[in-house]
Amino acid sequence: MKKEQVWKLLVLLLLILNTVTIAYFYFSSQNKDIRPGQPDQLIIEGLHLDKEQIEAFQLLKMRHRNKMDSIEIIEANIRKNLFLEVQKGPENEGTAIIYLNELNDIRVMRDMATLDHFKEIYLLCRPNQIIYYKNTIEEISKILMRPRPPHN
C-alpha cells in the first residue's frame, strides 16, 4: 500500500469516527432534560407539582445551580492558592491553614445553599402537597448522600 493510500484510509476512518461521536452526543442529549430517578423528576412527581409549580421549580433549580457554580469557582481558586502555598514548602504552613479554613467555610456555604434550596421547594408546595414533602426529600437524600465510588 502506498503512503498516500494509507493517509486517505486514516482520514476516512477519522471522519467516520467523528461522525459517530457527534451522532452519539446528539442523540444522547435529546432526552437530557429530566430523566427518571434524577432529583428533578423525584421532586416533580413526588410532590405532585402542577405545570405552574414545575415552571417555578425550574427557576429555583436554575438559581440554585448558579449559586453552586459560583461556590465551586471560589473553591477552585482557594484550592489553587493552597497548592501554590504547598509548593513553597513547609515554612508557609500558616497560610495553608488559612486556606484550609476557607475551604471549610466553602463546605458550609454549599450546605447552606442546599438547605435554602429545599426551603424554597417547601414554600413552593401547596398545603395539600406538604404531606409528600418529607418522603420526597428522604428519597432525594438517599441519592445525594450515596457514597462515591473509590478512586483508583
Per-residue pLDDT of the chain (152 residues; tens, 9 = 90+): 677 777 777 777 777 877 878 777 766 655 444 444 588 888 999 999 999 999 999 999 999 999 999 999 999 999 998 888 888 887 777 888 898 999 999 999 999 999 999 999 999 999 999 999 988 988 888 877 777 667 65
- Could you say which DSSP state residue 92 is in? G
- What would be the CATH architecture of the domain defined by 38-144? Up-down Bundle (1.20)
CA distance 83 to 85: 5
- Smallest CA-to-CA distance from 109 within 73, 136, 143 is with 73
Outline where the chain has alpha helix (H): 3-28, 39-46, 51-88, 93-124, 130-144
- Could you say which DSSP state residue 90 is in? G
- Answer whether 0.75 is exceeded by the pTM: no
Evaluate whether 33 touches 101 at the Cβ level (below 8 Å). no
**pLDDT at residue 1 in the model:** 64
**Under DSSP, is residue 86 helix (H, G, I), strand (E, B) or coil?**
helix
The dihedral over CA atoms of 123, 124, 128, 133, expressed in degrees to the nearest 10, equals: -70
**pLDDT at residue 31 in the model:** 45
**pLDDT at residue 39 in the model:** 81
**pLDDT at residue 29 in the model:** 55
